[in-house]
Amino acid sequence: MTGEITWPKARDYFTRAMRLRCPVCGSTPIFPPLSRTRSLSDWFTPLDGCPRCGYAYDREPGYFLLSVWAINYGVAALLGLFLYLVFEWFYEWPVWNLIAAVVVPVVVFNILFARHSKSIFIAWDHLFDPHEREGGDDGGNMPQGNAPAPTRPPSRARLPVDAGV
């Protein structure tokens, strides 16, 4: 799926990311539904791939490091800086009140924004480095034509050794 990067395409991908939807088909969610979210791990972990179009969300180990360090922490740092400047400018609070008023909302924001930072990263990556199947079955993750979507990306496929367990 090579193609030029255009503003409409970037806008579509960003809109899908903000709705936590697959960047390719835009219809299926990237994360499990809230009704199936039982732990923080469920909250933070995206599905293996899109059940509709087969696009793999988690391409390789460490894939989401940049989404956490750059997008999630970066936006939260800007939020914290903004809150600090507003509180410092308009209120004369003791320093511990000021710290609490900045740190608590930033931590809550980090947790709530974690899903969006990952979906934004997936959309960003798909915009600038779209993957396509390169023949064979060893690394591509986009279905060809009407091929059925893989249930798991190749990186998480079971090894033959696990077959008897």
Q: Under the rule (CB under 5 A), what is the footprint of Zn ion?
A: 22, 24-25, 50, 52-53, 55
Q: How far is CA 81 from the centre of its chain?
A: 24
CB of 54 to Zn ion, least distance (A): 7
For Zn ion, the closer of residues 50 and 76 by Cβ is: 50
Q: Please identify, using beta-carbon distances, which residue of 76 and 123 lies nearer to Zn ion.
A: 123
Q: Which is nearer to Zn ion, 31 or 55 (CB)?
A: 55
Give which of 105, 114, 103, 123 is closest to 50, Cα–Cα.
123
- Return the number of other C-beta atoms located less than 10 Å from residue 85's C-beta: 11
Please report how close the Cβ of residue 162 comes to Zn ion at its closest, in angstroms: 27
Closer to Zn ion by CB, 19 or 75: give it: 19
What SS3 class is residue 103? helix
Q: Which of residues 23 and 80 has its CB atom nearest to Zn ion in the complex?
A: 23
- Least Å distance, CB 49 to Zn ion, is 8
Cβ at position 28, least distance to Zn ion in Å: 5
Strands (E), the chain: none
Q: How far is the CB of 58 from Zn ion (least distance, A)?
A: 14
DSSP code per residue over 30-73: SS--GGG--SHHHHHPPPSB-TTT--BS--STTTTHHIIIIIIH
What is the spatial distance between Cα 64 and Cα 117, in angstroms, rounded to a whole number?
Answer: 9
